[in-house]
Structure 1
Amino acid sequence: MTDPITPLVRAVAAAEPRVENRDGAAVGTLQAYLVDKRSGQADFAVLSLGGFLGMGRSFYPVPFGLLDYDAVRDVYVVALDRKQLEGGPSWANTPPAFDAGYVARVASYYGLAKGSTAG
């Protein structure tokens, strides 16, 4: 049984920093953070991929521990390629309920222990 309380809240990024893979290829932008209501820590980053002028974008939650921030270039670097991201949990229009079941599904896809967000 999953926890009926939604443990995460979505916080939209004030600016949408770029996200690249380790080879420097553009992946998308960081659109939002999924923040644990109790700890106040960002557990997941929501990456926005694709689209044109805000249309046709898809959103992919990624455990925050899989991102590194490059302060010199002001970009996030993700240790995944675009194909891996596109195969993961996502949504296009309406975000899902960020309940314990969804958290476990995302963590499982990225090979993390149930409920873990560390990379």
Structure 2
Amino acid sequence: MAPVDVTSPRSGAQGGAGIVGSGVGEGPGPDVMAASSLDDTKVITSDGEDVGKISEIMLDVRSGRVAYAVLSSGGFLGIGDTLHAIPWNALTLDTDEKCFRVDIAAERIKDDPGFDKDHWPAMADTTWGSSLHEYYNRKPYWSTADYISRKGGDL
């Protein structure tokens, strides 16, 4: 696969994560990747701080879309971690630095109370999901006409 010359973030038509960098790597990436290959990828904020690592990528099974990524921060060896849901479309995969970038200051992520491994949020709760997307200044992935029409709803 030839390197991809990317001068600005590109994202999928369905509101996916953006991609920046040369695109050189192992396997078929960066446009199609195994979710497990993104586990433990560090997340860098707009102010350059490493705020943790991706621990899970959550799928909306009914729509077949990635709902959000789970950022694990703090703690030690997985104990006492705080988990944060980050909308998938709020992330940009940086293939050169091998990290995700998020366009939000570290303090905003630290101020978010997050959740723990025993109390996961439900993206199916559109109130919670909408407030999450609003926090990251992103449009919810389910608000597109394609998704709504397949669900039988109206715009």
Give the shorter-chain TM-score range: 0.7 to 0.9
5+ unaligned residues in a row in structure 1: which ranges? Answer: 1-11
5+ unaligned residues in a row in structure 2: which ranges? Answer: 1-34, 144-155
- 8 Å CA contact 1:18–1:75 kept in 2: the answer is yes
Q: Which residue number corresponds to residue 15 of structure 2? A: none
More helix by share: 2
Residue 22 of structure 1 pairs with residue 46 of structure 2: yes
- 8 Å CA contact 1:18–1:30 kept in 2: the answer is yes
Q: Which residue number corresponds to residue 33 of structure 1? A: 57
Distance 1:106 1:89 in 2: 12
Normalising by structure 2, report the TM-score. Answer: 0.58
* Off by >6 Å, runs of 4+ in structure 1: none
Q: Which residue number corresponds to residue 98 of structure 1? A: 123
- 8 Å CA contact 1:44–1:63 kept in 2: the answer is yes
Q: Deviations over 1:13-68 (max 9, x none)?
A: 45311111234321110111121223322131111111111111011111112211
Distance 2:96 2:62 in 1: 32
Distance 1:27 1:72 in 2: 18
- Alignment: residue pair count: 106
Residue 80 of structure 1 pairs with residue 107 of structure 2: no
Distance 2:89 2:123 in 1: 18
- 8 Å CA contact 1:107–1:117 kept in 2: the answer is no
Normalising by structure 1, report the TM-score. Answer: 0.73
- 8 Å CA contact 2:40–2:54 kept in 1: the answer is yes
Q: Which has the higher contact order (CA 8 A, sep 6+)?
A: 1
More strand by share: 1
Q: Identical aligned pairs, as a percentage?
A: 26
Q: Which residue number corresponds to residue 108 of structure 1? A: 134
